[in-house]
Each structure stands twice: as C-alpha cells, then as structure tokens.
Structure 1
Amino acid sequence: MANIIITGTSRGIGFELVKLFAKEGHQVLALSRNVQPVQRLDLSNVHCFSFDLGNPNDFKKVEAFLEQWNVVDVLINNAGSLLNKPFAETTIEEFERVYKVNVFGVAEMIRTVRHKMGKEGHVVTVSSMGGVQGSMKFPGLSAYSSSKGAVITLTELLAEEYKETGPSFNVLALGAVQTEMLEEAFPGYQALVTALEMATYIKDFALTGHKLYNGKLLQVSNSTP
C-alpha cells in the first residue's frame, strides 16, 4: 500500500480521490482549507488538517506530519484557485492570489515533500486545457489559465532536474469536468465527465503512470471547454 498526499480535497475531484485511495487501503493525507467533508468520512487510513496553499506557514504542518512517514509514494497537486474576471478589471492582488495557490503553492508543496520521495515516487499536478499552448482560450480566465500554463512548464523542468534520483513528474491538463469549479467558471455548462470518473483516471495514473511517463503533459479532455 502507498502513502498518498492530495491537495484540494474538500470537494470535486480531490474529494473523490480520497475515497478511492482509501477504499484500496492506501494511507492518505488529505489537505484542504475546509476539512469537514473529509472528516465526516471517518476513515481510519485518511489523515487531514486545515491547510491553505497560499499560506507559507501551513507547510510547517505538512513537515511535522511527514515525520510519521518514511516515504511519500504519490503527491497529487489537485488544489486550484479560480478567478473569472475581465483582465482590465483584475487587480495585481487578485492575480497574485491565484498564482500563490496554483503556482507558488504547488512549487512549495513539492519542495516540502520531495525529500520523502524516491526513484519510484510520482508527482502528479492537475492543470487545465486552458493552460495548454494552442488550445481554445476563454475571456476572463487570464490569471487562472496562465497559472495553469506555468505549472506545465514547472513539471517539465523538475522532471529534468530530478531524472537521475526521482521522483517522476507529470501533469494532466483536464478538460471540462462536472465540478463546483466548472460551475463557477461556466455557469450552466454541463460536462460529459463526472468528478468520480476523472478521479478514477487520476488515481490509476498516479499509481502507475510514472512507469511510462516522466516530464510529460497529458491532455485529458473530450470536449471544449
């Protein structure tokens, strides 16, 4: 059984991932600002505490917890911050807030966890089709989509930097998935893929994808958006 860390676990894909990994018997550290949904699951192999990727002090909580684990097998950077607002009306503070979670927080989480990950470790970062060069772009998502493009490049760089020692790094650019975040970005839009369906794919990829991929962007989408 593996030791798994997942961010953004209070709803949507992250919440479904917690349940899927726990059902298979893995040890899970579920990180989210709102811990109540995971706590209500009352699962003995799931650990959780309130955690904000945008708060540098919260990473000390992760460091303290990791003293209990000899190794981290999988890190899934799933948490994300969405802003849907015209570029001209977006303040520098709002832009920075999105990047603190979607880019700086992802980088700091990797830095915090990496020393516990060996050659067989796998870091999976959830990005968006909006961050893929040449994909269809949508007005109002300048901060969000550009931040998702940044973590794609970050993944490629880290895979090269740690190719001799591990872990492996891959990034999944997701298309539309029926989650609360999608409803916030595209009110009324009905996606063809459920959060559970996407979580099932990500779970399997997180456990086995590093055997075939490293430093790769996989576009996981069957629709636009």
Structure 2
Amino acid sequence: MKNIVVTGASRGIGYEMVKLLSEKGHQVLAVSRNISRLEELQKTLNNISVLGVDISDENQLITISKFVKEKWNSVDVLIHNAGAIVNKPFAETSAKEFLEVYKVNVFAVASLTKIMLPYLKAGSHVVAISSMGGIQGSMKFPGLSAYSSSKGAVITLMELLAEEFKEKQIAFNTLALGAVQTEMLAAAFPGYQAPTTPEEMGAYIANFALTGNQFYNGKVLQVSSSTP
C-alpha cells in the first residue's frame, strides 16, 4: 500500500486515477479546487482523502503539507496532473493569461514538490503530466502558445530535479500525453474527438506512477497513439 497525492483530481484523467488507485488499496489524497464529485466518491471508497486547494495559490499548498505531516508522514507517489489551458492567438493572449497558465502548469509543480520534499524518500516517484505539445519538434497547434510552452518548461524542470535528487533515490519523470477526451480538451477544441478515453489514460498513468521509477528517472515518455 502506497501513499499517493494526485492534483487535478476532480475530473477527467485525475478522477479516474484516484478511483483506480484507491480501488487497488492505496491511500490517495485527491487535490482539486472543486471537490464535490470527489466527496461523493469518498463515500464509497474510504481510503480517499479530499482537499479543496487552488494549487496556483502557494499559500494554500500548506494545507497539503499539513495533511501529510499529520496523517501519513511520507509520500510514495506524487502525481502533478492539474493543468490549465488557454486557446487563443498569441497576439491576443495577455501577460496575465500566460501567467495563470504557468502558475498551474509550472510554478505549482515546483512549489508543491518543494513542500513535499521532507516526505519523499528513497523509492518515491514524482510524475508530471505534460503534453506532446511541449515536446521539441512535435506538431504544434496555433492558439496554444501559453499552454504548450508551459508543458515544455515542466519537462525540463523534472529533468533537473531528477539530477538534483538522484543521490536520495527519488525519481522524477514526465509523461507527455497526446489527445485524451477530457472536459478540458472539449472546452479548448469543441467537436474534436480524441482517440483515448480518460479511463484508458488514467489506468496507464496510475500503473506508471506505481512502477515506472524502477526503470526511468529524469525521462520524458511520449504517450500518444497518433502520428505525429
């Protein structure tokens, strides 16, 4: 049984991961701004803990640290799944919109990881969810300058953390996802039908988070069923 923290847990891939990991018997801390759906799930799976936290607000991250210190005292897996997206032409994207995307996709990943460091130990695995849009040389889409560049930044951040903490045997890896049929995708690209469901991707990420650190550290794995 592992202690697992999942951000962006109230819908889509995050929700499916929380459900699957808890069904497997792990202790899961589900973090999201909107927790009503998670509270319903909590009624049927008693090894789920729920925190309503806006991870873009660094002051609120203390709530997560307090929970871990009082309830677990260690974290085996940290999954940075929360994401923010803006889809509009670069010339129309404000500095504030850029910042809001980076707050969730990059800064919150760095801040939450730092706060969790006292509870991560040899064998712990930190997984960041990026995007194929953040992979250098991959197909890019107009309108995603803030989103895709932030996803590229988090890949490099995780590579650096893997190097910095390798002597402590804490693994840091990134999964760069292709299109998954989530609510966020539907909002950004109305009418587009992705080839992968949240349930399918959630199962893949959950398994990787539990076992991938045996084989990978400081790596970015491209998880996409489409070419390019």
Q: Please report the TM-score for the alignment, with normalisation by the length of structure 1.
A: 0.98
Count residues in correspondence.
Answer: 225
Following TM superposition, the consecutive aligned residue runs of length 4 or more in structure 1 with deviations greater than 3 angstroms are none
Match of 2:108 in 1: 105
TM-superposed deviation, 1:157: 0.3
Q: Map of 1:1-225 to 2, 5 A cutoff?
A: 1-41=1-41, 42=43, 43-67=45-69, 68-223=71-226
TM-superposed deviation, 1:63: 1.4
CA RMSD of aligned residues (A): 0.9
Contact 1:175 1:224 in 2 (8 A): no
One-letter identity of the residue aligned with 2:226: S
Query: 2:182 and 2:211 mapped to 1: Cα distance?
Result: 25
Percent identical pairs in the alignment equals: 60
Name whichever of 53-62 and 137-146 sits farther off: 53-62
Name whichever of 68-77 and 182-191 sits farther off: 182-191
Query: 1:19 and 1:108 mapped to 2: Cα distance?
Result: 25
For structure 1, list consecutive stretches of 5 or more residues without a partner in the other structure.
none
3-state SS in 2 of match to 1:118: strand
Contact 1:117 1:166 in 2 (8 A): no
TM-superposed deviation, 1:120: 0.2
Query: 1:99 and 1:108 mapped to 2: Cα distance?
Result: 12
Contact 1:5 1:74 in 2 (8 A): yes
| Deviation sequence 1:140-163 (CA, Å, 0-9, x none) | 000000000000000100000001
Query: 1:32 and 1:222 mapped to 2: Cα distance?
Result: 28
TM-superposed deviation, 1:71: 1.2
Contact 1:114 1:167 in 2 (8 A): no
Query: 1:49 and 1:173 mapped to 2: Cα distance?
Result: 26
TM-superposed deviation, 1:224: 5.6
